[in-house]
Amino acid sequence: MASSQGKPKPGWRAHSLNPFKTRSQVQVEPVPVEKISQSLPINAVYYPNWRVYKGFPPSSLNLKYVTHLFYAFAWVRNQGHLFFSDEYADSEIDINGDGSVKGCLNDLRSLKKRYPNIKTILSVGGGGEGSAPFPAVASNGIVRSSFAQSARQMVDAFGFDGVDIDWEHPSDPKQGQHYVQLLAALRKELPAPSYILTSALPAGEWALRNIDLGKASSHLDLINLMTYDFSGPWTNLCGHHAQLYSPKNPHNEAARVSCSSAVAYAQSRGVQARKILLGVPAYGRSFLGASKPGDRFTGHAGEEGSFEYKDLPRPGAVVNLDKEAGAVYCVGGDGGFVSYDDVDTVQMKATFALKEGLAGLFFWTGTGDTQDSTSLVEASYRSLYPQHSNGV
């Protein structure tokens, strides 16, 4: 979502990216997720329904290392009624080519039978059109109630374990107040522990300041903190787009934002650490004509300025790990300077999450991950569950 100036700000990220996959560096088969308690830590992935058009249905994901799966997206009408954003992808497309499974929702149901302990959560909203009705819906008490009732009906009808609100994003204090009221209405219809209620929020203080985070989190099981897209086409200089730590001398305002600063700010506003899921991008941001953070750039490569993680590093590029920032980038090839996360930085973020008592990590998206020893989701799993990674 764009800022009031028409450009995204640091800590923004449009949910037009998200799912999950996995693999490992250690050649020891981990204990399957279904044998692990569904408490903490959480290793989650988003699955966007549009990925089925590129040959990646839900069943293409390696769920052996996943505890929670967010299915994106359902949308809402101004009257508060939910509907799936792509009827063909969700309910009609032939998944296996033989007519045996129609639509991503049925594919997901089949996966739920194979992995009964994985929690599946319906994500509502997303970037652009997906979030447009939220201000009107949330501002009216009757419509809020209709929305909450519709959400419960959809969750029950399709076998989900809960709802994720991805309103991108409340743009002023009044909308922030309505957002909290919307969460309260949802919690009433989706009581814990029978249902899971989460919300994805930007990492930037410029957006979070509009929300009473303490009140919001009191209604939520988890806040999915979207700690990526700190830098991109909207910034004047290139930089790390998902750095773990802020540099001592940031080259611009975007460089001040980091995973750790976002977590600290959320906690300072009343969010308990155990309710924070740290977001990890399974994609990189490209800056042509640049070779290091702080350089000016001439353009962007890839799809809308990004490459999926499984397509990184770019051929001929040199990989650099910035240990101080907790970020990796490659330089050269056809991508210029590309900022992304790899196994090393994911391990750093998982270690940070454990140390700070966070709920765990989530990935946007799982379909951007690899299915070999470089898998981000598996690296996260092995770091969050070291006892199981050792074969215990």
pLDDT per residue as tens digits for the range 275-298: 999 999 999 999 999 999 999 999
Strands 222-226 and 196-202, sheet pairing: parallel
Structure confidence at residue 388 (pLDDT): 74
DSSP assignment of 255-285, as one string?
GG--HHHHHHHHHHTT--GGGEEEEEESEEE
Which conformational region is residue 307 in: left (phi greater than 0), alpha (psi within -120 to 50 degrees), or beta?
Answer: beta
Is the pLDDT score of 314 beyond 80? yes
Do the bridges between strand 68-76 and strand 82-84 make them parallel or antiparallel, or are there none, so unpaired?
Answer: antiparallel
Please tell me the predicted confidence (pLDDT) of residue 39.
Answer: 62
Which of 36-50, 129-143, 218-232, 252-266 has the weakest average pLDDT?
A: 36-50
Decide if 177 contacts 144 (C-beta within 8 A): no
Beta bridge partners of 43: 361
Which range, of 39-48, 172-181, 279-288, averages the lowest pLDDT?
39-48
H helical segments located in 321-375: 343-356
Indicate whether 9 pLDDT > 50.
Answer: no
In this predicted structure, the answer to whether residue 48 has a pLDDT above a threshold of 60 is yes
Dist. CA 106–CA 91, nearest whole Å = 7
Does 321 score more than 70 pLDDT?
Answer: yes
pLDDT of residue 21 exceeding 60, the answer is no
Place 340 in a pLDDT band, splitting at 50, 70 and 90.
Answer: very high
Q: What 3-state class would DSSP assign to 122?
A: strand
- Output the pTM of the full model: 0.90
Using DSSP, state whether 3 is helix, strand or coil.
Answer: coil
User: What number is the average pLDDT over the span 100-109?
Assistant: 97
Helix (H) or strand (E) holding 134: helix 134-138
Integer angstrom CA distances of residue 129 from 16, 44, 124, 280, 281: 11, 25, 11, 23, 22
* C-beta of residue 31 within 8 angstroms of C-beta of residue 343: no
H-run or E-run covering 152: helix 141-158
Number of CB atoms found within 10 A of residue 310's CB: 17
**CB-based contact 166:124 (threshold 8 Å):** yes
pLDDT of residue 18: 31
Tens of pLDDT along 190-215?
999 999 999 999 999 999 999 999 99
Mean pLDDT for the chain overall:
90
**Chain centre distance of CA 29:** 26
The pLDDT-based confidence of 333 (bands split at 50, 70, 90) is: very high
Out of 129, 168, 189, 378, the active site residue is 168
Checking if the pLDDT of 36 tops 90, the result is no
Tell me if 171 sits within 8 A of 210, measured CB to CB: yes
The label of the residue with tokens 């080259």 reads: 251
Residue 360's identity, in one-letter code, is: G
Q: CB of 42 within 8 A of CB of 358? A: no
- Locate the DSSP E strands across the chain: 42-48, 68-76, 82-84, 119-126, 162-167, 196-202, 222-226, 276-281, 283-287, 306-308, 318-322, 327-331, 337-340, 360-364
Per-residue pLDDT tens digits for 254-278: 889 999 999 999 999 999 999 999 9
pLDDT(15) > 60: no
Percent of the chain with pLDDT over 90: 85
For 66-81, what is each residue's pLDDT tens digit?
Answer: 999 999 999 999 999 9
Closest by Cα among 171, 317, 333, 339 to 255: 339
- Answer yes or no: is pLDDT of 2 > 60: no
Give the tokens for residue 263.
């977590």
Tell me which amino acid residue 158 is: F
Cα diameter, the chain? 58
Cα→Cα distances 252→11, 164, 238, 295, Å? 13, 32, 9, 11
Is 34 in the active site? Answer: no
CA 184 to the chain's CA centroid = 22
CA neighbor of 269 nearest in space, from 313, 303, 218: 218
d(CA 392, CA 380): 17
Token couple for 110: 């089949």
Read off the amino acid at residue 115: Y
Q: Which amino acid is at 318?
A: V
- Note the pLDDT tens digit of each residue in 232-259: 999 999 999 999 999 888 898 888 999 9
What pLDDT, on the 0 to 100 scale, is given for residue 250?
A: 86
pLDDT confidence of residue 389: 55
